[in-house]
Amino acid sequence: MEKARLEEKFITAWKGREDDGCLWWNGEWWSWRRFAALVDDCEAKLKRSGFIRGQRLAVLLPNSPMVLALSVAVWRLGGAIAPLNSRTGIVNMLDSIRKVDPHSVVVREDKLDESLAPARAIGVPVVGAKLDAPLPEWLGRVGGAESEDYAIFFSTSGTSGNPKAVGCLHSNLLDNINLLPGHVPGLIEPDSVFLNVLPNFHTFGSDVAGYLPLLSGVRQTIVPSFVPVEHTIQTIRDSGTNILIAVPTVMAFLVSALAKKDEKLEGIKIVITGGDRLNVQMDERCRKYLGVGIQEGYGLTECSPVVTMTGVEKTKKLGTVGTFLKSYEIQIRDREGNKLGLHDEGVLWVKGPSVAPGYFRDEVNTRERFDGEWFNTGDVVRIDEDGYVQIVDRATDIIIVSGFNVYPQEVEAVLCEHPAVHSAIAVGERNSVAGELVKAFVILNEDKTVTARELVDYCKERLAHYKVPHKIGFVKEYPVSPTGKILRRELRHLKITRG
């Protein structure tokens, strides 16, 4: 029996609805017919360029109709798409490009000249493209074909900073896409309009905000960049967007912008966040300015991506990331890999049809994170009796002070209880005696002041002595990745000059 493929789901999604709205782009609705015509053009140009079954196409483009059109076209030809970070430019993506070994690289038309030399240096053809118009003709590389089961390749560095290529299969994405609407009632309805603003080189933005609505036959609003925030807010209003897919950083900026003008966004049905830890205080602010609370989820690139999700906003448990999608098998293990009880605190391992087969052409990293079909998420969790999951911390983020485990989330939660503190991040700092000590970085609320010593004393009253930060620094912002995730590894090396 033939395996199901994503392009078949696309055909089902738009068949008979050719004149209905599909994508909101640059102030107007594209019909399904118009989008399908762009797909047809991409497919024809790719075929003439020499693209063969099992190859990969690297794409350095911002969110746009072209990214989605190229994806469907590549799938039709039996290949896989590899979206990369267009914001950093091709020079900074060369290692990731080598990893996926593509047929060619597609860049923005205005970035073509600066991309030619570095692409030529690694022997990969490059073509410039508009974001919403037919491709030019070009020739790609021959060879490099792999299994046609691959649908998409993501470049991920995890906590190490070294790029790995995660190859997700058609079956992986289909499992996630098919399960989410049943897990989150109201997500896919005839009037649903998704916000596609998270960068599509990241699995959450690509799969949940882009492919899910496209392959489910509902509309989406494509925004190339969240900044300026006011433009995104106006676009949400103009397009009638009512499903927000975001990371906590995006929600913080969005709500703050509304709060400054004392405005509200009307008509929002569902707000889903993932990709990083959510400050539970944001839920109340979101309810005030958007009319609904936040449904938090949890996922990983290797899981295509959703693992857990809050199903119903009214019955959620704040501080958890919801319950598991029903296709997952789960285990809790200790840091040495020994199996624990389901409700014990420990490292989460998962198995199921959403889990990718491993890292592309990388047996070493695959062996490190995969145990047969079981995948080590690297996250320490607690699962309550109702199946709700609390992320305690990443196993790699745990700070070990004189042999005692310190979870950064616990320290951060205490600091955030102080009325002067807007947010806090705790990391480990090497120490010759204790191994590590806790240090923290905080952002203060506007018009509030507090000293590092006052915060340390505040923590001493509420935390065990080995959990108390020995240094606290004040910052205006945290270093973040292009997807809005706080880069803790950079904070570990950041010197504190105050406190």
Residues 118 and 256 in one domain: yes
433-473: pLDDT as tens digits: 777 899 999 999 988 999 999 999 999 999 988 899 999 99
Residues 330 and 468 in one domain: no
Q: Is the alpha carbon torsion for 129, 134, 136, 142 positive or negative?
A: positive
Is the per-residue pLDDT at 323 higher than 90? yes
Are 246 and 198 spatial neighbours (Cβ–Cβ below 8 Å)? yes
**What is the chain's mean pLDDT, rounded?**
93
Residues 46 and 187 in one domain: yes
Average pLDDT over residues 326-345: 94
Q: What angle do CA 198, 240, 266 make, to 5 degrees?
A: 95
- pLDDT band at residue 403, thresholds of 50, 70 and 90? low
Number of domains in the chain: 2
Whole-number pLDDT of residue 2: 60
Amino acid identity, position 107: V
pTM confidence score:
0.84
Whole-number pLDDT of residue 436: 87
Structural domain includes residue 63 = yes
Last-in-domain residue among 365, 395, 425:
395
Tokens 């945290």, located at residue: 478
* Separation of CA 266 from chain center: 26
Residues 142 and 120 in one domain: yes
Residues 332 and 402 in one domain: no
Residues 39 and 114 in one domain: yes
408-444: pLDDT as tens digits: 988 999 999 999 999 999 999 988 777 789 999 999 9
* Separation of CA 435 from chain center: 32
149-174: pLDDT as tens digits: 999 999 986 444 467 899 999 999 99
Residues 159 and 35 in one domain: yes
Facing residues of 489 across strands? none
Q: How far is CA 234 from CA 192, 223, 260, 293, in A?
A: 18, 11, 15, 21
Structural domain includes residue 186 = yes
Which DSSP letter does residue 2 get?
P
CATH at 487: 3.30.300.30
- pLDDT band at residue 1, thresholds of 50, 70 and 90? very low
Token couple for 307? 């693992």
Q: Does an H or E element contain 312, and which?
A: none
Average pLDDT over residues 255-281: 92
Structural domain includes residue 499 = no
Q: Which domain holds residue 11?
A: 1-395
Structural domain includes residue 252 = yes
Residues 307 and 411 in one domain: no
- The whole-angstrom separation of Cα 132 and Cα 219 is 17
Residues 345 and 380 in one domain: yes
Residues 431 and 343 in one domain: no
Least confident of 44-53, 66-75, 135-144, 151-160: 151-160
Residues 87 and 223 in one domain: yes
Is the per-residue pLDDT at 499 higher than 70? no
Facing residues of 284 across strands? none
Structural domain includes residue 214 = yes
Are 156 and 334 spatial neighbours (Cβ–Cβ below 8 Å)? no
CATH at 139: 3.40.50.12780
Last-in-domain residue among 369, 395, 421:
395
Could you give the percent of the chain with pLDDT greater than 90? Answer: 79
Whole-number pLDDT of residue 143: 78
Facing residues of 150 across strands? 169
Is the per-residue pLDDT at 481 higher than 80? no
Structural domain includes residue 497 = no
Whole-number pLDDT of residue 31: 98
Average pLDDT over residues 46-57: 97
Q: 473 φ, ψ to 5°?
A: -115, 155
Residues 319 and 411 in one domain: no
Say if residue 363 is exposed, middle or buried (CB neighbours under 10 Å; 0-12, 13-18, 19+). Answer: exposed
Structural domain includes residue 35 = yes
Whole-number pLDDT of residue 162: 65
Q: Is the alpha carbon torsion for 311, 316, 321, 322 positive or negative?
A: negative
Last-in-domain residue among 357, 375, 395:
395
